[in-house]
Amino acid sequence: MRSHRLAWIAALTLLPLAAPCPAASTDAVRLVVIASASQPLKLAPDRDDLRNIYLKKIFIDDDGRRLIPVNLPPGTPLRALFASRLIGMGEPQLADYWNRQYFQGVSPPYVLASQQAVVRFVATTPGAIGYIASCHLDERVRVLLVVDPAIDPAAAGCGEPAAH
């Protein structure tokens, strides 16, 4: 009887260690637009401004610094979500838009291979703007806009290693 009681006490003592971390279960993952924390833009963009920056209708900030929007690769869930929620186009419509713009001398935003690459590029490139899942945020970048209230952490690549 005494061994059963000790087993219950041990189980109840260790139970909090097996429970999920409250912070992990309450922190929603969000799609965010980012800029460098150390090289601030002279621009306080709203959704329309960011849409126009990504469509390359706005090229410079208020100080005349060139703005450099970057994209994730086509076909990635985060890019599709960004295109539909912020730009207001599906990927096929956006591809058509850039085909037309290309023949007018306007190139689409640079494409970077991963969210970690976006963080590194934005953190070190004056005027760069990118988008990532909030689970990839670090001290090198700051949030300009939260695009989506909550997204699926797995689809957002939150299991990938942190950017450093």
Residues 6+ apart with CB under 8 A from 152: 29
Higher pLDDT, 98 or 11: 98
Of the two residues 108 and 19, the one the predictor is more confident about is 108
The structure's pTM equals: 0.80
Is residue 119 very low, low, confident or very high in pLDDT (cuts 50, 70, 90)? Answer: very high
φ, ψ dihedrals at 69, nearest 5°: -75, 145
Pick from 123, 124, 128: which is nearest to 109 by CA?
128
Q: Which domain holds residue 37?
A: 29-156
Residue 15 included in any domain? no
More confident residue, 11 or 92: 92
Q: Does a structural domain hold residue 5?
A: no
pLDDT-based confidence at residue 7 (cuts at 50, 70, 90): very low
Whether residue 77 lies inside any domain: the answer is yes
Mean pLDDT of 88-95: 93
Residue 5 pLDDT greater than 60, yes or no: no
- Output 113 or 157, whichever has higher pLDDT: 113
Q: What is the pLDDT of residue 6?
A: 40
Look at residue 113 in the predicted model and tell me its pLDDT. Answer: 97
Task: Give residue-wise pLDDT tens across range 31-51.
Answer: 999 999 998 888 888 999 999
| For residues 43-60, average pLDDT | 92
Residue 25 pLDDT exceeds 50:
no
CA 59 to CA 160: how far, in whole Å?
Answer: 32
Residue 139 lies in a domain: yes
Residue at 117 is within a domain? yes
Report yes or no on 162 lying in a domain: no
Domain assignment present for 97: yes
- The CATH number assigned to the domain holding 96 equals 3.40.190.10
pLDDT above 60 for 126: yes
Q: How many domains does the chain have?
A: 1
What is the identity of the amino acid at 90? G
How many helical (H) and strand (E) elements, i.e. helices and strands, does the chain have? 6, 5
pLDDT of residue 161: 58
Mean pLDDT within 157-162: 71
**Residue 161 falls inside a structural domain:** no
